Amino acid sequence: MPTRTTHPRLTSALAVVCCTVTAWVTTACGGVVARSPVLQDLVSERTVPGAAELSQDAHGTVRFATAGVADVRTGRRIGLTDRFRAGSITKTVVATVTLQLVAEHRLNLDDPVAEHLPAPNATALTGAERGRTVTVRQLLTHTSGLFSYTDDDAFFRRFFGQGFTEHRYESHTPDALLGTALAHAPYGPPGTRYRYSNTDYLLLGMVIRQVTGHSYAVEATRRIIVPLRLTGTSFPGTRATLPLPHGRAYSAATGDAPGAKGLTDVTDLNPSAAGAAGEMVSTLPDLNRFFAALLSGTLLPPAELRAMRDTSLSGGSYGMGVFPVRLPCRRTVWGHNGEITGSYVQTLGTADGRHVVSFRTNSDTRLSSRAQTKLLATEFCSTDG
C-alpha cells in the first residue's frame, strides 16, 4: 500500500522489555551490548531521518536499536512503543481473520467473492463479466486480476503524490474505492497470474463484514488484538492523528511545501484511502508478537496456516497475506512489509515463529534492497544455525 511498484512465539520478555537505547547501539535485556551499524545504513539525512529495529531470537534474547531521529526538529529518538502507520501489514491481519472464518466453515476459499458481498458491490463486481468468477482464494493470493485502485493515476497523485497536501484529510468509502478500481479493465482473467492489488484486500474487508455482520476492524480486534494484548495496535478509520506516543512521519515526494531538510511532515493524514488494504497503526513489539503467534500456529489451525504459506498460485512470490524472503544463507523467512505515506515497516520470522524481527523507518522513501538484505542476513543468518 500503495501498489505502484510493490516487491515482491514470543516469550513474556516482550511484555517486560528492559532495553536502554542509544543511537546505533543494541542493548539486549540480558545486558549484552553490541553495535548495530546495519541499521544506520537505512538512514539518510535528507530522505530517511530515523530507523528502528526490534528482534527476538530463538533463545528469547530481545534487542531494540535505533538510528537517526524520530523528530527532525527536536532530535527525539524513536521509542520502543512509538505508534506508526503499518500500511500493508494490515493485509496480514485481514488474511488471518479471513482464514479463521474459513476454519469455522463460514467461508470457503473457492467461493465466488460475489456470494459474500452486499448486492450493489456484487453487481458492480460481476458486471460485464468483470470479476464474475473471482474467488476468495484469488483475493488472498493477489491472483484475482482486479485493477488496484491505487494504480489509478489521478487517485495516486491526489492521495500519495504531489496532491497529498491538499487532499490528506479527505475521507473515502470502500464503495468509492471499489468504483475507482472497477472503472479500469482488469489486469487479466482471474487466476491466471499474480499481480499485487489493494483492491483484493479492500474486497476482503467487505467480505468479513458481510459474513460476520461486523467490520474487519471489529473482528480483528476481537480475534487478534485483544487476545494477544496488542495494546499499541488500532484501526483509525478516518482519524487523522496518531495515538500517543509517536514520532513524526516524513516524505520527500509528497506535497509542495517541504519542511526541514527538504522533507514534508506527513504525520497527520486520513487513512481511509488505505482501508482494509493498509490503515492499521501499530508498534514494533505488537508486530513481533502478532507474527510470532501467527507463524507458530497460535492463530490458525494447521490446514489454514499451510494454505497461508502456499505460494504456488503466485509462482513463489506470495501466499495469503504473507510472503517468503529467501536470504543469502539459503534460509527462508516469512512476513510482510507495509508502506504508506511517511512510513515503511517490515516484519519477518522463521517458519516456527521463534525468531522474529521488525524494522521500520519514519519515511516513505524506498529503501535500498542491499541495505535491507544486509540487515536481515545479519539477523537471521548469523544466529539460530
For 332-361, the pLDDT digits (tens) are 999 999 999 999 999 999 999 999 999 999
Query: What pLDDT score does 11 carry?
Result: 27
CA distances from 191 to 110, 134, 232 (A): 11, 8, 37
What integer is the mean pLDDT of 297-305? 98
Query: What pLDDT score does 29 carry?
Result: 44
- pLDDT one-digit tens code per residue, 172-227: 999 999 999 999 999 999 999 999 999 999 999 999 999 999 999 999 999 999 99
Query: What pLDDT score does 162 carry?
Result: 82
Query: What pLDDT score does 66 carry?
Result: 94
pLDDT surpassing 80 at residue 283: yes
Neighbours of 178 (CB within 10 A): 22
Model confidence at 45, pLDDT cuts 50, 70, 90, reads confident
What integer is the mean pLDDT of 66-79? 94
Closest CA to 118 of 183, 206, 178, 199: 206
Please state, in angstroms and rounded to a whole number, the distance separating the CA atoms of residues 112 and 157: 33
> What single-letter DSSP state applies at residue 224?
I
More confident residue, 199 or 255: 199
Catalytic residue among 44, 55, 88, 234: 88
Model confidence at 32, pLDDT cuts 50, 70, 90, reads very low
- pLDDT one-digit tens code per residue, 112-155: 999 999 999 999 998 755 666 899 999 999 999 999 999 999 99
Model confidence at 60, pLDDT cuts 50, 70, 90, reads confident
Model confidence at 3, pLDDT cuts 50, 70, 90, reads low
- Whether 197 is a known active-site residue: answer no
Please state, in angstroms and rounded to a whole number, the distance separating the CA atoms of residues 173 and 238: 10
What integer is the mean pLDDT of 18-39? 45
Query: What pLDDT score does 127 carry?
Result: 79
Query: What pLDDT score does 100 carry?
Result: 98
Query: What pLDDT score does 25 carry?
Result: 41
pLDDT surpassing 70 at residue 377: yes
CB 55 within 8 A of CB 368: no
Model confidence at 35, pLDDT cuts 50, 70, 90, reads very low
Q: Provide the mean pLDDT of the chain.
A: 88
Query: What pLDDT score does 7 carry?
Result: 45
Model confidence at 258, pLDDT cuts 50, 70, 90, reads very low
CB 100 within 8 A of CB 300: yes
Give phi and psi for 155, each to the nearest 5.
-60, -45
More confident residue, 191 or 160: 191
The runs of H, that is alpha helices, within the chain are: 37-40, 89-103, 119-126, 136-140, 153-159, 164-167, 174-182, 198-212, 216-220, 284-295, 302-309, 369-380
Model confidence at 161, pLDDT cuts 50, 70, 90, reads confident
Please state, in angstroms and rounded to a whole number, the distance separating the CA atoms of residues 373 and 367: 10
pLDDT surpassing 70 at residue 16: no
Helix/strand/coil for 342 = coil
CB 249 within 8 A of CB 267: yes
Query: What pLDDT score does 13 carry?
Result: 28
Query: What pLDDT score does 261 carry?
Result: 56
Model confidence at 37, pLDDT cuts 50, 70, 90, reads confident
Residue ranges of E strands in the chain: 25-28, 33-35, 50-56, 62-68, 84-85, 250-251, 264-265, 281-282, 323-326, 332-340, 343-349, 356-361
